[in-house]
Amino acid sequence: MEPFLTSTCLQEVKQKVLNIERLAMDGDSTTFTCVKRSLFPDLKKSNDRNHIKCFSYGISQNKGNAHGIKTSLNALSAHMLNEHSSCCPTWCKSLSTRITGRRTYCRVPN
Q: What is the percentage of the chain residues whose pLDDT exceeds 90?
A: 2
Quote the pLDDT of residue 106: 40
pLDDT at 94 over 50: yes
Quote the pLDDT of residue 42: 92
For 7-49, the pLDDT digits (tens) are 888 888 888 888 888 887 766 678 888 888 888 899 888 776 6
Buried b (16+ CB within 10 A) or exposed e, 54-90: bbebbbebbeeeeeebeebbebbbebeeeebeebbbe
Nearest to 76 by CA among 90, 63, 65, 64: 90
Q: What are phi and psi of 84, to 5 degrees?
A: -115, 10
pTM, to two decimals: 0.43
Higher pLDDT, residue 47 or 109: 47
